[in-house]
Amino acid sequence: MRLATWNVNSIRSRIDRVAAFLDRQNIDVLAIQETKCRDDQFPYERFDELGYEVAHLGINQWNGVAIASRIGLADVEFAFPNQPGFDKDAGESLISTPVVESRAIGATCGDIRVWSLYVPNGRAIDDPHYAYKLEWLAALRDNAAGWLAADPAAKIALVGDWNIAPTDDDVWSVEFFTGKTHTSAPERDAFNAILDTGFADIMRPYAPGPGVYTYWDYTQLRFPRKEGMRIDFILGSPALAAAATDAGVDREERKGKGPSDHAPVIAEFTDLVS
């Protein structure tokens, strides 16, 4: 089974690229982030033509997550339990009148429980959105631990755009990101706390070392200069990680006309529904 995750930065703008990618890479399940559309605007028909069922969560032109599967799609959840919301007018009291954003969707695809996640950006260290990001990750960590405690043999994939580069090897310049989001100690601690529950970074054993990135800003010629970040991940539960046989980044999708600023991450598993 081949599982991919991709922040497409607008599904309507890039549906042709997504369709070609699914065919070229023979993808069974695709988790999508930043669809940037409402549910009624999502191109379901195109996926149906390709043989994929889709679950999508989109409230407006921001955020948006989806799961497309050709091996089954069941038990859809449109947020994880106790997922924090964000109220831009609430100041320090982020939970006073929270709006739960379209940032998490879960579904069972074959043998795997897949969560497509778009972790809050954080914006700046002193921004309320940063505190929201840490609350969001803490709630996800609690759920991840609970899912594994309830069923240690569960095959669970937490995938998507995490907006965190967990190590110095995951950024093109440590100095450039000093004092900024994505590399701060609290964010990295929050990411590692999820790994501490038993989840594993599926791709890292197959793509070790620095220079393996999944995101390149559109500005300053970041992509041709190889100035990127690794912020998109497939994290697998112990049972799922044990079934992994390969993983990597499809950099070809960051090239050409009208690409997303992210490239897809792909993992392959054996002994699962194919």
In the chain, the domains with their CATH numbers are: 2-269 (3.60.10.10)
The yes-or-no answer on residue 161 being catalytic is: yes
pLDDT exceeds cutoff 90 at 253: yes
**Percent of the chain clearing pLDDT 90 (strictly above):** 91
The yes-or-no answer on residue 213 being catalytic is: no
Catalytic hit among 52, 56, 170, 262: 262
Sign of the dihedral through C-alpha 94, 96, 99, 105: positive
Give residue-wise pLDDT tens across range 52-96: 999 999 988 889 999 999 999 999 999 999 999 987 665 554 444
Give residue-wise pLDDT tens across range 119-165: 999 999 999 899 999 999 999 999 999 999 999 999 999 999 999 99
pTM, rounded to two decimals: 0.95
| Sequence-distant (≥ 6) Cβ neighbours of residue 36 within 8 angstroms | 9, 10, 11, 12, 58, 61, 62, 63, 64
**Averaged pLDDT of the chain:** 94
Residue 98: the pLDDT is 65
Residue 95: the pLDDT is 45
Residue 60: the pLDDT is 85
Shortest CA distance to 70 belongs to which of 56, 53, 55?
53
Catalytic hit among 161, 170, 201, 232: 161
